[in-house]
A and B are shown apart, each in its own frame.
Chain A
Amino acid sequence: MSTCPGCALLCDDIEVVVESGRIKETRNACRRGAARIKGCINRLAPTIDQKPSDIESAIKKAAGILKDSKSPMLFGFSNSTCEAQVKGIQLAKKLGAMIDDTSSFCQGLLIEKILQKKFRTCTLEDVRNKADVLVYWGSDAQDSQPRHLSRFSYFPRGESRQRGYEEDRIAIAIDVRESNTAKICKGHFYRIQPKGDREFILALIDALSGKVPAYEPKKILELAAILKKAEFGVIFVGIGLTYSIKEDFDILVSLADKLPNFQIMPMVGHYNMRGFNENLFKETGFVNRVRFHDTAVHDDKYSIIEALREKSIDALLVAGSDPLSSLTRSLIRHLASIPVICIDPCVTMTSKIAAVTIPCAVSGVESGGTAVRMDGKKIGLSKIIESDYLTDEELLVRLMGAL
């Protein structure tokens, strides 16, 4: 059995058929996972200034860039093992650099609150065994964490949910779009307008407090009645909800306070984003957006977005992420003007403009390690096949040595 590094569900029941050192077939992994395990067709090669080089020279050049930089940032890490993340944090410390990860423009806000114990939360095994009311809010698990409903939440039989989904569980979707997940929650789909989550939460809080909600009273009261009856409810918070209430995130805390039988779980995409948040939190008390001086300082201006907007960094090391693809175009202008060091298994948009590229092994496929599942459980990764590529952890160690 192997673990799939395709998403933060980290399914550890995957069988992989390997033939003469190559992956021939995957079993039990979903389409997303199978694609990750089978890998990309364009592997990255070491380059300096977009010209072919070798690993040693590339590392040396990267060390030079970081040494010359007055204000470097390390970014990425949500597709890295915990071991590599810890090395990344050490490197940032050594350099007095900023460090941030994709959670900064994804689920960071929510995970921070969970690590600060502002929400009740539970494990996915608890969900399987106990949950009777499941709320997918701003989350299309079917497309992002495809096995979420089948492995843990809705379909499986669990200890106190022996009759499975037909009788023992209710799945609800609250979303702007009738997603694939919403389709499965037939009859319990609540469509909202973009940015309509706040209004919906306020109405729901009213309904739960015995008041008549100002907005769609009939639907909201009906939903409140279902939620109130729950023995063990879970709200799966997707980025749709996080983005929508980012200005006033505490509103979700207020809702959770009104629902004592409910747990809050972050829906995480990248397989080890939560791992990065936990590792940095352990080291600094913050989940992202940190700058190391004598101590670790947390500030929104140390987020990759603000750092690029304010042009406050003069070099960027990217590990296992593709900011050129995932950031808004207006922000990339500054990114294009500073030296970028790109560590990745595959050619990415970012690697195509990077000053230095250093290829690494695909973690969870060509190298093992540990990662943190979306619910906080540590899961071992598998080395499924051998490869000559160094891991990102080894590369970061070498880079530190070269400084």
Chain B
Amino acid sequence: MVTVLEIYQLLPKTNCKICGESTCMAFSVSLLGRKRKISECTPILEVNFKKQKEKLEALLLPSAGAEETGMIVHPELCTGCGNCVVACPVDVANDPKGAAIGCAPTNDKVIFRVVDGKVVASNIKECRRFGKNRVLCYACIDPCPTGAIEFV
């Protein structure tokens, strides 16, 4: 998984604030969290930063398939155990008679469902890592035995 530091190393490190963040480090955090785009750092678009920019793009590329929340599901690693289905606080709140008590989801408001033995995520905007009152929730990552869910 990409770290903030790896991103930082590739930035101009001048803390010029053109991007709107107070430091390049802060911009790295925002880049990692998908809140900003590389192009917002105009200095890096200049020719002498070409190599660094390409590296940065490559680094952030794998998460292009990720949802806005940064969630990536690796179906090939998933065992379909359903731990995330039952542990996710959104699923618990939205499906108290189903997912919350360990049963199959009873409505479409849950984030996780298991289809063909592998997890499928939907309603991702509901994820607690997203929106106004976001929190750094780990309730689907920690219970996963195989690392099939990650946030980038």
Contact = CB atoms under 8 A, between A and B. Distances in A.
Interface stretch (B25-33, B34-42, B65-73, B110-118): B110-118
B45 interface: no
14 contacts: A15-B104, A28-B82, A28-B114, A31-B117, A31-B118, A32-B117, A33-B80, A34-B80, A146-B80, A150-B86, A156-B101, A164-B92, A164-B100, A186-B142
A27 B113 contact: yes
A13 B103 contact: yes
Interface residues of B, number: 26
Given A27-B114, A30-B79, A31-B118, A180 B143 contact: no
A150 B79 contact: no
B102 interface: yes
B146 A180 contact: yes
B83 A155 contact: yes
A367 interface: no
A165 B146 CA distance: 19
Contact of A151 (B79, B103, B116): B103
Interface string B87-105: 1000010000000111111
Contacts of B100: 156-157, 164
A186 B116 CA distance: 28
A149 interface: yes
Contacts of A14: 104
Interface residues of A, number: 35
A157 B104 contact: no
B78 interface: yes
Nearest to A34: B117
B81 interface: yes
Interface of B: 78-83, 85-87, 92, 100-105, 113-118, 142-143, 145-146
Nearest to B84: A150
B107 to A, nearest CB: 13
B83 A149 contact: yes
Interface of A: 1, 13-15, 25-35, 128, 142-143, 146-147, 149-152, 155-158, 164-165, 180-181, 183-184, 186
A53 B39 CA distance: 71
B102 A27 contact: no
A345 to B, nearest CB: 19
Contacts of A34: 80, 116-118
Looking at A31, A157, A165, which has the most chain B CB atoms within 10 Å of its CB? A31
B128 to A, nearest CB: 14
Contact of A29 (B80, B83, B102): B80
Nearest to B103: A13
Looking at B92, B105, B143, B145, which has the most chain A CB atoms within 10 Å of its CB? B145
Nearest to B115: A27
Contacts of A13: 103-104
A29 B117 contact: yes
A29 B101 contact: no
Nearest to A23: B116
B102 A150 contact: yes
B101 A26 contact: no
B86 A128 contact: no
Given A150-B81, A151-B102, A156-B86, A30 B145 contact: no
Contact of B117 (A30, A128, A181, A183): A30
Given A27-B115, A142-B145, A180-B146, 15 more contacts: A25-B116, A27-B114, A30-B80, A34-B80, A34-B118, A35-B117, A128-B101, A146-B81, A147-B81, A152-B102, A156-B101, A164-B100, A183-B145, A184-B83, A184-B145
Contacts of A146: 79-82
A150 B101 contact: no
Contacts of B143: 149, 155, 165, 184
Contacts of A27: 104, 113-115
Looking at B78, B87, B104, B143, which has the most chain A CB atoms within 10 Å of its CB? B104
Nearest to B117: A34
Nearest to A165: B87
Contacts of A186: 142
